[in-house]
Structure 1
Amino acid sequence: MTYPEADGLTVGRAAALVGVSVKTLHHWDAVGLVRPSGHTPAGYRVYSADDIARVHRVLVYRELGFPLAEIARILDDPSADARDHLRRQRAQLERRAGRLQEMARAVDRMLEALDAGLRLTPEEQVEIFGADWRPERVDEARDRWGGTAQWTQYAERAARMTPGDWKDVAARTEALNADLAAACRAGTAPGSSEANALAERHRALLGTYFDCTHAMHACLGRMFADDPGFAAYFDGIEPGLTAWLRDAIFANAGARGVDPATAAWE
């Protein structure tokens, strides 16, 4: 049938109205699912009101998961029981909804793990990191660095770590602290090969949580000395260790082309 230009909808206008692409309508036309009732004198496809109603019915069945061939059979076969199809599809949707809800709960648990950064209870944290560990340190760190790319990296890595992984990190930390304390007591000179090796071990340990460049390491060394909490921690391991570690980090960074005085977090 040929329509005047003002009657019906061209394929572009029909696609925009129902929210599908022109390519989709062309495909449905080609497979006989929704064929426009006529054309304009210029040869353009024209969709009538009944055609658009059929498009909407196709969209409903497609949203329910019916394949196009079955949709065509339901729409065109008078003997097809649309109610029976819909009842069966509703049962499938209920099962799918249940699976999606469980997946949503799993995602919530993953988000909690990523947000907390530790898959450990406070009791497990104390057991692994020692009696002087304060679980609220995680909250303090999140408040301080939560908006940085490094915190995101830390949270993603921490969420994948098992209690066994954390015990390994705690053991490595304890061994490194003992070696740092021994070097500080022995008067090992920052910038010496031994001190540089210890600084690199310290940077590698930080690399467990996020990628730590030498410039970042220098920034952290400065922060250790300036922050009373960090200073108390390191000096509690060995008197004077905070300043020694800062100087060792600075010297190691300088040996690798980083000026500690101007180092930036990058």
Structure 2
Amino acid sequence: MPDTTGAAGLTVGQVAARLDVTVRALHHWDEIGLARPSLRTAGGYRLYTAADLERLHRVVVYREIGLGLDRIRAVLDDPAVDVPAALRAQRAQVTARVERLQRLGTGLDRMIDAHERGVLLSVEQQAEIFGPAWDPEGPAKARARYGDTTQWRQYAERAATRSLEEWRAVTDATNALDGDLASAMDAGVAPGTPEADALVDRHRAVFAAYFPLSREMQVVLARTYESDPGFAAHYDGIRPGLAAWFRRAVDASARAHGVDPDAATWR
């Protein structure tokens, strides 16, 4: 570093501005003997020479790469310290930190993508997992409708980390539940019976792959299954009347747990 301090040296404020550190940091380094100014004014104010600035510059660089102040002191002053080895060790730590941050960045990209797209699968993968009747525009439509809700955020957070095989497992669990619901209705299982209640509880557990579902929310959702043309077509396509049977099963289970289906809200 060229000597541009002049004969009088630089003040603490000037050094702080030049090295982009705080005056408080310079005072602290002086107090602990890490980087002391060589000069003082008649009034006792610190003045830094070119040699002081050179040492400070090294302190700043070493601190920037993550060395602690005690380690910096040893690197600067202890002749027994193997400086290249110390720096290589620090380099390894920096590399590991960079890799961790890159992984974090990738995760954030997926999180952003999931919030915007919902399902992080290609159109071909969606058709393979969800079946040929799946509408690849469905997640975009859902985001337009529910994107400002807590449940969409929870759904996106789960989707961001879900692999192709995990999506397959979720879909298999959902399909198996749909089949068991249909079988129960075919067998004449009545809403409110232990068997029906077990299926209602299983529905909440399977649905948790998307977001947590309270009993009140389940009542609202089952009502939607019956009233919404798209949902009703899906369930009644499995078995005619399945959407209505499942709503009654959910209502009966809700009542058994102290929830009035007529007053249930999305909460």
In the TM superposition, what is the alpha-carbon distance from 1:100 to its structure 2 partner? 9.3
Q: Is the 8 A contact 2:12 2:23 kept in 1?
A: no
Change (3 A) 1:104 1:205: closer
Alignment of 1:241 onto 2:242: yes
Q: Is the 8 A contact 2:216 2:259 kept in 1?
A: yes
Q: Which amino acid aligns with 1:27?
A: W
Q: Which amino acid aligns with 1:235?
A: D
In the TM superposition, what is the alpha-carbon distance from 1:128 to its structure 2 partner? 1.8
Q: Is the 8 A contact 1:35 1:51 kept in 2?
A: no
Specify the alignment match of 1:188 in structure 2: 189
Specify the alignment match of 1:30 in structure 2: 32
**Structure-to-structure mapping, 1:1-266, within 5 angstroms:** 20=22, 22=24, 25-35=27-37, 37-38=39-40, 46=46, 57=57, 61=61, 65=65, 68-69=72-73, 106-107=106-107, 109-111=109-111, 113-115=113-115, 116-266=117-267
In the TM superposition, what is the alpha-carbon distance from 1:131 to its structure 2 partner? 1.6
The whole-number CA distance in structure 1 between the counterparts of 2:134 and 2:170 is 14
In the TM superposition, what is the alpha-carbon distance from 1:217 to its structure 2 partner? 1.1
Specify the alignment match of 2:4 in structure 1: none
Q: 1:134 is paired with a residue of what secondary structure?
A: coil
The whole-number CA distance in structure 1 between the counterparts of 2:221 and 2:109 is 32
Question: Which shifted more, 233-242 or 144-153?
Answer: 144-153
The whole-number CA distance in structure 2 between the counterparts of 1:219 and 1:38 is 76
Cα deviations by residue, 1:144-190 (Å, 9 ceiling, x for unpaired): 22222322222222232222222222222222111212333444322
Q: Is the 8 A contact 1:40 1:46 kept in 2?
A: no
In the TM superposition, what is the alpha-carbon distance from 1:205 to its structure 2 partner? 0.8
Q: Is the 8 A contact 1:39 1:46 kept in 2?
A: yes
Structure 2 unmatched ranges of 5 or more: 1-9, 78-86
Change (3 A) 1:56 1:261: farther
Cα deviations by residue, 1:174-212 (Å, 9 ceiling, x for unpaired): 221112123334443221222211111111110122221
TM-score (norm 1): 0.69
Q: Which amino acid aligns with 2:197?
A: N
Q: Is the 8 A contact 1:203 1:217 kept in 2?
A: yes
Q: Which amino acid aligns with 1:182?
A: S
Provide the aligned C-alpha RMSD in A: 4.1
Specify the alignment match of 2:81 in structure 1: none
Question: Which shifted more, 53-62 or 153-162?
Answer: 53-62
Change (3 A) 1:255 1:162: same
The whole-number CA distance in structure 2 between the counterparts of 1:197 and 1:101 is 44
Cα deviations by residue, 1:59-114 (Å, 9 ceiling, x for unpaired): 863575385449968xxxxxxxxxxxxxx9xxx8xx97x97996587346423553
Q: Which amino acid aligns with 1:220?
A: L
Q: Is the 8 A contact 2:235 2:243 kept in 1?
A: yes
The whole-number CA distance in structure 2 between the counterparts of 1:172 and 1:99 is 36
Q: Is the 8 A contact 1:14 1:52 kept in 2?
A: no
Q: Which amino acid aligns with 1:204?
A: A
In the TM superposition, what is the alpha-carbon distance from 1:21 to its structure 2 partner? 6.7
Cα deviations by residue, 1:16-73 (Å, 9 ceiling, x for unpaired): 99653736632344224143844896x8x65679899779846863575385449968
Q: Is the 8 A contact 1:58 1:71 kept in 2?
A: no
Q: Which amino acid aligns with 2:22?
A: V
In the TM superposition, what is the alpha-carbon distance from 1:220 to its structure 2 partner? 1.2
Specify the alignment match of 2:6 in structure 1: none
The whole-number CA distance in structure 2 between the counterparts of 1:37 and 1:104 is 47
TM-score (norm 2): 0.68
Q: Is the 8 A contact 1:215 1:253 kept in 2?
A: yes
Structure 1 unmatched ranges of 5 or more: 1-7, 74-87
